[in-house]
Amino acid sequence: MTKPDGINLLTDTTSLSLLNGEPSANTTVKKITQLERHSKNFINRSPFCLLATSSGEGCDASPRGDAPGFVYCLDDSTLLIPERPGNRIADSMRNIISDPELGLLFLIPGRDDTLRINGRGYITDHAPYLKKLAARGKIPKLAIVVDVTEIYFHCPKAFIRSALWDVDQHMPAEELPTLGTMILEQINGEPPSKELQASIDNALDEDSRDNLY
């Protein structure tokens, strides 16, 4: 990495600790290595999580969501995550094949606390596992198996600061262009015509409606 002129970069953990401080004993002791009733219950109530992976080519954070409990607790140290139909780029799965270390952040709408899980992932097409992840009569083709190594609940400060669940703070939809408009302009370098915008927006809506499972 090229150091920007005039910018001090912290390049060692000692310097970081001097400025950031050390975590309290109460913070570090909360980290556990086995799924128990509270973490399992949180996962079973969660309809959404973020999956973080990395490889030699870079990092990736991917949203995953379905009905509460879509991530299946196989036992006290193993999770199953369905791979639902998507864009087939498969960045997360490619990263896991290259480097199995991953992180998960589980959210429950309306709650400001979150559940963080770290572990090692593997890709499988094992039929008995896939059957456990069926939704609306559809069995996924693939699943991510997570061997859990670290579990802890995260404090609510980020959600309090962001007022994420406060509907009075939600942005009006018209303040941003449509998804299709933004993608086309990123690709072409200029705003799309109204006809092209409508075409891509309709295609995206159709895919979201008809290709969820």
Is 5 contained in some domain? no
Find out whether 45 and 108 touch, Cβ atoms under 8 Å: yes
Q: What's the angle, vertex CA 212, arms to CA 207 and CA 213, rounded to 5?
A: 135
Residue 5 has pLDDT above 80, yes or no: no
Find out whether 81 and 64 touch, Cβ atoms under 8 Å: yes
198 shares a domain with 158: no
182 shares a domain with 82: no
Beta-bridge partners for 102: 53, 119
The percentage of residues in the chain with a pLDDT greater than 70, rounded to a whole number, is 99
Q: What's the angle, vertex CA 62, arms to CA 57 and CA 64, rounded to 5?
A: 150
Is 89 contained in some domain? yes
Question: What is the arithmetic mean of pLDDT over 132-139?
Answer: 96
179 shares a domain with 124: no
Residue 136 burial (C-beta neighbours within 10 Å; 0-12, 13-18, 19+): exposed
76 shares a domain with 137: yes
Question: What is the arithmetic mean of pLDDT over 100-126?
Answer: 98
Question: What is the arithmetic mean of pLDDT over 157-182?
Answer: 95
- Domain with 202, as residue range(s), is 171-210
DSSP 8-state assignment for residue 38? H
**Residue 51 CB neighbours (<10 A):** 22
129 shares a domain with 183: no
Residue 1 has pLDDT above 60, yes or no: no
Is 205 contained in some domain? yes
190 shares a domain with 113: no
Task: Kindly report the average pLDDT of the chain as a whole number.
Answer: 94
163-182: b (≥16 Cβ within 10 Å) or e? eeeeeeeeeeeeeeebebbe
Confidence band, pLDDT 50/70/90 cuts, at residue 175: very high
Question: Does the CA dihedral 159-162-164-168 come out positive or negative?
Answer: positive
Residue 103 burial (C-beta neighbours within 10 Å; 0-12, 13-18, 19+): middle
Structural domains of the chain, count: 2
CATH of the domain at 135: 2.30.110.10
200 shares a domain with 155: no
Question: What is the arithmetic mean of pLDDT over 3-10?
Answer: 81
**Residue 187 CB neighbours (<10 A):** 9
Residue 3 has pLDDT above 70, yes or no: no
